Structure 1
Amino acid sequence: MCIPRSELCPMSSPFHGVILGTQAYLLGQINLPITFGDRANFRSEVLTFEVVEFLRSYHAILGRLCYAKFMAIPNYTYLKLKMMGPNDVITMGSTFSHAYMCDREHYELATAIINSAELPRLRESSTPAVSNCNKPTSLTTFHPPEETKVVGIDPTDPTKTVWIRT
């Protein structure tokens, strides 16, 4: 987009969730105007984007904050995003073949990153997200709290029960 890095607001928190097991540090945040619709019926709002230097198949990820600001309704089944415009409902959409191509590209990129020699370096520079301190000793061991009550959930089978804390 040819935006100089001096335009970014510095941030120091890591960015997670694009590819499982990896993280990237933000280069910064930037506020950009976003417009949905056409000349006859459009909506514009300013959104804050987190900028990362990270190989990815997405150019931008619009999430809950975008949906809330535009009061948009996503429908993942029909690949549509709908919101109210000044003249009518604005409908943005895609095709199933394009969605499949994007999913395939993301899968191939994620697989390449996970299989690359760069992943061990990324893991060394990151802190573990989950601590092993509360790891259960056995998957079959269950110790209910002292004040519990056994309640049957199937009247035809008395062995099917749940423990409810009293």
Structure 2
Amino acid sequence: MDGGSGLNILYIDTLDAMCIPRSELHPVGSPFHGVILRAQAYLLGHIDLPITFDSRANFRSEVLTFEVDFLGSYHAILGRPCYARFMAIPNYTYLKLKILGPNGVIIVSSAFSHAFTCDREHYELATAVVNSSELPWLRQSSVLAAPNCNQPTSSSAFHPLEETKVVEIDPTNPTKTVRIRTQLLAK
């Protein structure tokens, strides 16, 4: 479950385990950002799959579009498109997903230990991918430019590009403020 994701993601190992040939994938024209921190993700393609939750007595089926990615420690990630299609309500604290079925509420659950293991494996995998792609860039950039630590900087060195105004965000504490742009574009 990932309510912050705008994609439903299926990993290639899962697609292979389901015995779905890669010829069933539809090509994706551009890379995605945000799948792996600070890196572009070139997906293999996308596929529409029927998804069913619960048992024969009380089930719900919908067709979801999944973006197929190379590597991952999960089988799939269900994002906002899944929640919208199923009108599902996620509860991240209890690792439960509630869906209205024809004969009552369908509850999809997970174990905390399994979620922790998957999160740890995914973090290690994402860190390895980012480090492998950043290492040549870091070596090159550290040789090209060294910071000038002798020159002091002050908070007055930074100025907004547009006209802004100060707005209090906490009426009980006037020191808590934010700056917002005064010339917003109408859309």
Does residue 70 in structure 1 map to residue 86 in structure 2? yes
Aligned to 1:60: 76
Aligned to 1:18: 35
TM-score after normalising by structure 2: 0.65
Does residue 145 in structure 1 map to residue 160 in structure 2? no
Aligned to 2:21: 4
Aligned-residue identity in percent: 67
What does residue range 41-120 of structure 1 map to in structure 2 within 5 Å? 41-52=58-69, 54-116=70-132, 119-120=133-134
Task: Give a deviation string over 1:96-146, Cα, whole Å, max 9, x none.
Answer: 111111111111112222333xx15998xxxxxxxxxxxxxx864335728
1:36 aligned to 41, 53, 68, which one? 53
Q: In 1, distance between residues paired with 2:32 and 2:167?
A: 44
> CA offset at residue 67 of structure 1?
0.3
Amino acid at match of 1:3: I
* Contact map agreement 1:56 1:106 (CA 8 A) in 2: yes
* Contact map agreement 1:17 1:23 (CA 8 A) in 2: yes
Task: Give a deviation string over 1:21-57, Cα, whole Å, max 9, x none.
Answer: 22222222111000111121110100011112x2211
Q: In 2, distance between residues paired with 1:6 and 1:104?
A: 32
Structure 2 residues not aligned, in runs of 5+: 1-17, 138-153
> CA offset at residue 162 of structure 1?
6.5
After TM superposition, which residue ranges in structure 1, 4 or more long, deviate above 3 angstroms? 120-123, 148-151, 153-157, 159-166
> CA offset at residue 149 of structure 1?
7.7
Task: Give a deviation string over 1:58-106, Cα, whole Å, max 9, x none.
Answer: 2211111110100000010111000100101000011111111111111
Q: Secondary structure, in 3 states, of the residue corresponding to 1:2?
A: coil
Across the aligned residues of Structure 1 and Structure 2, the Cα RMSD in angstroms comes to 3.4
TM-score after normalising by structure 1: 0.72
Q: In 2, distance between residues paired with 1:62 and 1:80?
A: 12
Q: In 1, distance between residues paired with 2:105 and 2:167?
A: 53
Amino acid at match of 1:145: E
Greater RCO (CA < 8 Å, at least 6 residues apart): 2
Q: 1:43 to 1:120 in 2, by over 3 A?
A: same
Amino acid at match of 2:101: G
